[in-house]
Structure 1
Amino acid sequence: MKSYLRILRAAGLALGLAFGAVPAPAQQPAAPKPASPAALAAAKEILAMKNANQMYVNAVPNIVAQTKDSLLQANLNYQKDLNEVAVIVAQSLAGREKEIGEGMAQVYASEFTDQELKDLVTFYKSPLGQKLLVSEPKAIQLSMAYMNQWAQSFAEIVNAQFRAEMRKRGKQI
């Protein structure tokens, strides 16, 4: 499951880099339109079938740990206290990661019609949909590996062309 999370993070990074050139106003997420209870239920079902909660199940403890580590860098004398406070904060905020799931369901419900969501649920319950749920993480992982390999190889080509053009100008780099 950790490799699946790494794949999702890498895919998210790749998508972020791909869309990074979008003008700033277009990057502001629009507030999702209100969804019907049926649409939200279908969206939640889809997300459950896709095990989307695995993407954010450790969000609270991870953010608490990152915050503690950040504070610790500037306050080394408070290590014992910060460690103790981290436990208290993590306990007091436990369960808040479910807000991510609710938000994701709202986004799905606002992007698809009620009928489309029902059709997606039906699809994911079909043999092909089940195969997609099982095979897609591996396909994404292999695609990302291919993309990384291609990028590395292409970067070497670009580098060689830069060097050749610079040599034409009498400059060795």
Structure 2
Amino acid sequence: MKSFSRILSAAGLALGLALSAVPVSAQQKDAAAPLKPASAAALAAAKEILAMKNASAMYANAVPNLVEQTKNGLLQNNLNYQKDLNEVAVVVAKTLAGREKEIGDGMAQIYANEFSEQELKDLVTFYKTPLGTKLLASEPRAIQFSMSYMNQWAQQFAATIDNEFRNEMKKRGKPI
């Protein structure tokens, strides 16, 4: 699970980098656009794809994690209520347990907006082939290694950038 969390963090970084190339106004427009209704078959295929990708592992602990974050935020300003807030956190987590499934439903709706019903069905068929099965099994590792490579490259490139800054500042008579 720890390696999956690292993959998710890396995927989040990759997504952030990818989105940084899109103009902010375009991002806001896309985020504000309502999702179009999807057929039951499209949603079913999207959910099947997400199940094949084990997407639920990404958000399985969303409710307890958010409850814990909220509790910790409240504790910062209410230290004298620590015992009560710890007890209430258990109650709130139990009350809201299962709500993370809303994330899966939302993800399925997003897939159904990005792909046609037939495309989703074709993807399900593909993921059931030997190559599709291999992709599902190998992709998390490939993403993890890609993110590791990207981090190493960024560290090395940052040193290059630092040297360029220092050289340019030296030319100006302002060594740093």
- What's the CA shift for 1:24? 3.5
Distance 2:111 2:18 in 1: 22
- What's the CA shift for 1:21? 5.4
Instruction: Indicate yes or no: 2:150 matched with 1:147.
Output: yes
- 1:14-38 C-alpha deviation (Å, 9 max, x unpaired): 3223423544432231221100000
* Cα distance change on mapping 1:11 and 1:84 into 2, 3 Å: same
- 1:84-115 C-alpha deviation (Å, 9 max, x unpaired): 00001001000000000000001111111111
Task: Please give the root-mean-square deviation of Cα atoms over the aligned residues, in Å.
Answer: 1.2
Match of residue 156 from structure 1: 159
- 1:145-170 C-alpha deviation (Å, 9 max, x unpaired): 00000000001011011111111111
Match of residue 108 from structure 1: 111
Instruction: Indicate yes or no: 2:135 matched with 1:135.
Output: no
Match of residue 4 from structure 1: 4
Task: Output the amino acid matched with 1:131.
Answer: K
Match of residue 171 from structure 1: 174
- Percent sequence identity over aligned pairs: 75
Distance 1:132 1:70 in 2: 40
- 1:111-155 C-alpha deviation (Å, 9 max, x unpaired): 111110110000000000110111001100000000000000001
Distance 1:81 1:101 in 2: 32
Instruction: Spell out the pairing of 1:71-86 with structure 2 (5 A cutoff).
Output: 71-86=74-89
Distance 1:94 1:148 in 2: 36
Task: Output the amino acid matched with 2:77.
Answer: A
Match of residue 126 from structure 1: 129
- What's the CA shift for 1:3? 1.2
- How many matched pairs? 173
Match of residue 46 from structure 1: 49
SS in 2 for 1:19: helix
Task: Output the amino acid matched with 1:43.
Answer: A
SS in 2 for 1:170: coil
Distance 2:18 2:112 in 1: 25
Distance 1:124 1:21 in 2: 30
TM-score (norm 1): 0.96
TM-score (norm 2): 0.94
Return the match for 2:58 from 45, 55, 66: 55
Task: Output the amino acid matched with 2:59.
Answer: Y
- 1:49-69 C-alpha deviation (Å, 9 max, x unpaired): 000000000000000000000
- What's the CA shift for 1:4? 1.7
Structure 2 unpaired stretches of 5+: none
